[in-house]
Amino acid sequence: MERFARLLTDLIYTRSRNSKLALLADYLRTAPDPDRGWALAGLTGQLNFPSVKAGIVRDLIKERVDPVLFALSRDFVGDTAETVSLLWPAPPGPVPPSPTVSEAVALLSAATRATAKPVVAGLLDRLDEDGRFALLKLATGALRIGVSARLAKTAFAQAFSVQLDDVEEIWHALRPPYTDLFSWASGAAAKPDITSRPVFRPFMLANPLEDAVLDLADYAAEWKWDGIRIQIVHASGETRLFSRGGEDITASFPDIARVFAHEGVLDGELLVRGAAQGGEAGGAASFNALQQRLGRKVVTANLQAEYPAFVRLYDVLFDRGEDLRRLPWSDRRVRLENLVSQLNPGAFDISALIEAGDFDELADLRAAARETDIEGLMLKRRDSPYEAGRKAGLWYKWKREPLTADCVMMYAQRGSGKRSSFYSDYTFGCWTAPEAEGGVLLPVGKAYSGFSDEELRWLDGFVRKHTVNRFGPVREVEKSLVLEVAFDAVNASTRHKSGIAMRFPRISRIRRDKPASEADEIRTLRGMIASDPGSAASSIEARPGD
């Protein structure tokens, strides 16, 4: 564990991407098996110990350190694993030998709900500060040390002089500790063959269009549907649905999986039947309706009937064992149009192309998108191959303009990770009525993005200088600062006192020029609620956008 712990510490203090790659590659090349495979799994977020929850770690430390002192420390550090690694008291007596990564993984995997606490405590007792930090990061999931899964895989490719695309391609068919991956990369075995297996292939993603003007002779336009981007795969008699991150979500959508038996890999948007987006003809229900289908242990027949799911297809990656990804988009589109006619029409349709004479006409269509509650447009280069990731110049998303409101900062909390110590999470409110008529501020949302580093420093200073009250980690501030908040939509919500919930709120401007009394009223926000019958039932949580 010492070597892995040192790797994590070095990575944290290393800024340059090349130096990080060099550190990772050196470790992956020289660390012993299967330690390096488990480490790679940790770095790519593939380790999961169901019995070891973050709560266990908090319980353990609270048995050893006063809970208030722990909470204050945690708030200051901004990271539970690091706080615990710093506070953990060394056990009396001689230090037992530290565990290897493999031994730690074996112990954590074997832990049950009942034994998880003593197992974790026993491991922490055998490690120093850096070792405890590494162990807790491994044990509780996300490392968050500035190394993405992509960077770790890039380092792997670099370490063994293999192609990153080859690594990505077979990655999702392999399991930790990736013995076959290391054998192939080091030349000891052939490349694992995955063609006949129902595995996830990396998605092609879009960049924001910004201010570019495109020639529609080169780009095709589609609506941007607001559901869940999925990949549906059928191979060797098995069907799988994967989400953006490659997570298997087949169990949540048996109605779709059941009716798909075409050997191949398709890309599309999972939606629920309805008319909220795009109207009666060819529309779909809101994302809210789809949310009713997510995160359920049991997907009842009732639920399936009430929220009938379907897939609006965007692309085809494989068709009957043939890899189409190198073909231009226009050729794949023809293949997809032919293919969709063979699929169950209740569960599959195709994302229609938008006819527009020129870019200006397309801009007008986008401007009108809010009226039909469509999120925006997608633009795809007609000759683009299907490339994993977000390649420049190929696919663009062109979202409708956000809505904005002037709100007043009410509370602030410290951020985590890079922003630990900075008050970077802001709760803001709007008036129930004009202040002069006795109106009060009610919270309408929370945002922690949209500002520059310089603005963050200013906001942090504002919070520190204008604190009027402290509730644990939360500071209440003087209600004097107006923030212009941008958001994609407003939904009715019974969860919030204000009765509304913003979708993707972010700070768009700091309005130092505007007095708080001139901030917006809640009724202005209510007026923006999308006409969506499905949205009254629950509020929306932010989720990663495309």
- The CA distance from 82 to 129, in Å, is 9
Q: Are 182 and 170 in contact (CB under 8 A)?
A: no
* Partners of 271 in the β-ladder: 310
Q: Are 7 and 27 in contact (CB under 8 A)?
A: yes
Taking CB under 8 A as the criterion, the residue among 22, 72, 151, 474 binding other proteins is 72
**C-beta of 469: minimal distance to other proteins in Å?**
13
Taking CB under 8 A as the criterion, the residue among 12, 303, 365, 403 binding other proteins is 12
**Binding of residue 87 to other proteins (CB under 8 A):** yes
Question: Omega into 118 within 30° of 0, i.e. cis?
Answer: no
Which residues inside 457-516 make contact with other proteins, applying CB under 8 A? 464
**C-beta of 13: minimal distance to other proteins in Å?**
5
Taking CB under 8 A as the criterion, the residue among 86, 212, 213, 353 binding other proteins is 86
**Binding of residue 269 to other proteins (CB under 8 A):** no
* Cβ proximity to other proteins, 60 vs 339, nearer residue: 60
* Cβ proximity to other proteins, 16 vs 341, nearer residue: 16
Q: What angle do CA 527, 534, 522 make, to 5 degrees?
A: 25
**Binding of residue 421 to other proteins (CB under 8 A):** yes
**C-beta of 140: minimal distance to other proteins in Å?**
16
**Binding of residue 65 to other proteins (CB under 8 A):** yes
- All residues at 6 or more sequence positions from 19 whose CB lies less than 8 Å from its CB, including other chains: none
**Binding of residue 69 to other proteins (CB under 8 A):** yes
**Binding of residue 79 to other proteins (CB under 8 A):** yes
CA distances from 227 to 150, 224, 294, 313, 546 (A): 25, 9, 11, 12, 10
Cβ-count burial 410-421 (b if 16+ within 10 Å, e if not): bbbbbbbeebee
**Binding of residue 353 to other proteins (CB under 8 A):** no
- The CA distance from 240 to 249, in Å, is 8
**Binding of residue 78 to other proteins (CB under 8 A):** yes
Taking CB under 8 A as the criterion, the residue among 73, 154, 351, 535 binding other proteins is 73
**C-beta of 527: minimal distance to other proteins in Å?**
41
**Binding of residue 82 to other proteins (CB under 8 A):** yes
**Binding of residue 30 to other proteins (CB under 8 A):** no
Q: What angle do CA 13, 16, 20 make, to 5 degrees?
A: 70
**Binding of residue 151 to other proteins (CB under 8 A):** no
**Binding of residue 77 to other proteins (CB under 8 A):** yes
**C-beta of 408: minimal distance to other proteins in Å?**
24
**Binding of residue 420 to other proteins (CB under 8 A):** yes
Count of CA atoms in the C-beta half-sphere (13 A) of 440: 4
**Binding of residue 13 to other proteins (CB under 8 A):** yes
Q: For the chain, percent helix, then strand, then coil, each to nearest 5?
A: 35, 20, 40
* Cβ proximity to other proteins, 390 vs 418, nearer residue: 418
- All residues at 6 or more sequence positions from 135 whose CB lies less than 8 Å from its CB, including other chains: 1, 5, 104, 123, 124, 127
- The CA distance from 546 to 83, in Å, is 33
Question: What is the binding site for other proteins (CB under 8 A)?
Answer: 9, 12-15, 65-66, 68-69, 72-73, 76-79, 82-83, 86-87, 146, 417-418, 420-421, 464
